Structure 1
């Protein structure tokens, strides 16, 4: 399906609302030929293809893959592909106090395209916007997850010259993939055993324990903010299966994942 709407007219909550969300898969975006205004914030993440953005101040700004386009409320604008060309995009139209706070902090205040500050293949945004919330509490968790994603995607991190910090970043990234500790040791400039000892001194845990802690933190976030089933969380984060994840989670948080999710939903 070239265009898919995953959410429309979401619940209005104390944090805000999502009016529309969905994706365009290798198709032309549906846009008027003239500049348009929308009452809420518009956010578009283009994953492949290219196009242009324009508004009253700028006639044409290129949009390429891995470009985040932000449009504040009531800002006349238009973005699209060239005639007959297509792209892949996730989009969301949302408003309310939480989005206004992001604008006040400089995250959603400047209209137009910008490069992503942090790599995204779109799976993380799809996970947030892929399903309509069933309750107001679900809608608020979805908005908080969207706000967290926008902050990460828009906040440029300073490059780190410290090879140990770079190794820690590697261990915390792509949690479902494989990481070669011997390769990280070479990058840091030490032996395998020296890397394990040095990492523990600097970060308070052995490399694999550090990585597993990041996995469990991510699992807790997915339990709080999504309805993803436990086996899906285990698969996304590189756990052997949901039973192993459950044992590890109970050891870290003192309760099974399902009880944790239920408790977080009650508090929300």
Structure 2
């Protein structure tokens, strides 16, 4: 499979999981099932009154990270941070608590380190949310060097989330994505990488009933990995993820990113892809990332 198909798959996997899951955000499983059954179509609505195909912070912050990397690949953190602020100043519908506090902290102190510390203090030390995991995939889609991927993955996390658990989840996730970008086998990668982390080492033997689809980053990544492990195509992975409820758009986005990279863009349902309102932006990002790879190969 060409890398462009995996890049597009990763970006659209995030967006489709986000757009599908956004409908169920803040609904209980009982409420959601009564209204939507087992949700498989991108219909919008929900508490945010989304348009069909409208995405939330998961995709928009992923775009911010991707653009920051493209703007300055050698040292993207400043650009990523500026993109976060530009997005936040646009008054988005959905902003996580930790991110919101970090944005306000940055405006107060003009320092991302102080911003993350400010959010950490305001939340009594509870900054291990999934708000950095949901946006980290561009690092693994763009860079070819795993050390660079891990460095950028962790650093973009620490812009807003002080807790090491958030950075660790980004490191594990993007290491897996990196190996799939290079065509490695699905379960071999999962088994080898998750055993390195105590929080995830038992995921291949975890039962569905044991999952907790909360916004805590460990819970979220466990859910996303479980859905990816136990389903064989992008549609089933994403549908399983969002129908766990809890934090459906983010779990859907993270699981969708994994599935999209592994199975490629053509495995993601066209009926979903065509509905994504920011699809042209995602295609533009993928094209620029692919152009980088072509230039490198021609040297």
Higher strand share: 1
Q: Name the structure, 1 or 2, with higher relative contact order (CA <8 Å, separation 6+).
A: 2
Same fold (TM over 0.5): no
TM-score by length of 2: 0.23
TM-score by length of 1: 0.25
Between structure 1 and structure 2, the one with the greater Rg is 1
